[in-house]
Amino acid sequence: MEERILILGINHKTAPVEVREKAASKVFFIGDRLRELATSEGVVDEFMVLSTCNRVEWLTVSRDPARTAKLIRELLGDSSNLPFPQEFLYLYEDLEAVRHLFRVASGLDSMVMGEPQILGQIKDAYRNAAQQKTVGVILNRLLHKTFSVAKRVRSETGIGCRAVSVSYAAVELAKKIFGNLQGKKILLIGAGEMAELAAEHFMRNGASHLIIANRTMERAMELAKRFRASTIPFAHIMDAFETVDVVLSSTGSPELIISRQDVKACMKKRKHRPLFFIDIAVPRDIDPGVNELDNVYLYDIDDLQGIVEWNKEERKREAVRAEYIIEEETLKFQHWLQTLDVVPTIIAMRRKAEEIRSAELRKTMAQLSHLSDKEKEAIVKMTESLVKKMLHDPIIFVKRKASRPSRQFYIDLVQQVFNLPMRNDSDSPEMELPEDENKEKSPAMSVIKNLPGRN
């Protein structure tokens, strides 16, 4: 029975978190059962599990995909034999599965389109499967192809270039105003989750120093320790305005904490050097009137949200280009899959030719013991070259027929013409042959060492 690629899964689009939790809790249990099937019944040849907070997917290579899918669905049921709600599951086979995996790795199927973390999670899942030895020729090839496709999508499109979170958008704005953030000083007013995310982005983009002011000193010190920042008393934030370049405020204050007059007074002391305010608090922390002052820039949460929405639309436009790349790479992988059918025939042709060459070479060399090693090596290389050139056209012929529905006819034809042994699918340690055929090392020196008359 032919091997088929299968993905059965559940994700944030198809199921709420409580359903995804149930599926995630069965990952190891189902993995053990699939391993049993692989070793005892040979139904599942290869498998890998991807489990993240947004998705759980079983990627398998199976000779009986219907049975494999049925088994996973049954194993997802609970101990009281209640069936897992099937409406939350999705199933992809063959090229649809390949295309889906490419899209997931490229961030096109993520909750935040273009996010890069999913690629690292797939690499971790593959690493774990490789350590457990549950992946083979097809999944090895598919996963390495997946990594290269994701890299190509990221480098040839802008799918991950624009900020789609408020905190990151704030940092991107600061970079536009100052050119870059190298050497800039940042004051964070408030130490909540948004401030923490912004701190990460600021430091990653080259800010030289963070100052944190928070009403709760413990939280300010905790955040300062993480980012090697300094802290100041909340009552002294106006003093910091003289030296910092960016002020990001995100407190829970019910009223304004920074007035127009405060900022106006401080601008004189800093000799009107540009000062950038980011107010992501609701209610707002900063008087909108500061935006009227020269060299003072203020953006509030609505401004940033507008940027985020615009960036999301830009990512959607880039997604069209990404989908084209994925379609192209899916077709390339399809061609590779089809060549697997002709690999055993190519291997058999080469093996038979090599056996004939070696046997004839030994008989000939037995009568030429007077030749030097250099002369013997020249003869060996000549025979290798003859065999390679003689097989070139038949191999190209059968590889070109690999993508045709009638390929089995041509495989049988070549096997009869060359009187080859019948195909044995289990004889596949060299299944990567179509890609590597030009990299095959010459056996010339090993043959020379075994020639008659060689000391």
Angstrom distance (rounded) from CA 440 to CA 32: 38
Residue 260 near residue 289 (C-beta atoms within 8 A): yes
Q: Which amino acid is at 251?
A: T
Q: Is 38:60 a contact under the CB 8 Å cutoff?
A: no
Residue 329: Cβ within 10 Å count: 21
Q: What share of the chain is helix, strand, coil (3-state, %, to 5)?
A: 55, 10, 30
Please indicate whether residue 53 is annotated as part of the active site.
yes
Residue of 17, 53, 359, 396 marked active site: 53
Q: Residue 77's Cα: distance from chain center in Å?
A: 30
Label residues 420-454 b or e (16+ Cβ within 10 Å = b).
beebeeeeeebbbbbeebeeeeeebeebbeebeee
Residue 305 to residue 164: CA distance in whole angstroms: 9
CA distance 56 to 54: 7
Tell me the CA distances in angstroms from 290 to 258, 259, 436, one per residue in order: 9, 7, 66
The DSSP 8-state label assigned to residue 114 in this structure reads: T
DSSP string computed for 60-96: EEES-HHHHHHHHHHHTS-TT-PPP-GGG-EEEETHH
Sheet holding 296-300, edge to edge: 230-231, 209-213, 185-189, 246-249, 275-279, 296-300
Please name which of 334, 303, 290, 14 lies closest in space to residue 145, comparing C-alpha atoms. Answer: 334
Residues marked as catalytic: 53
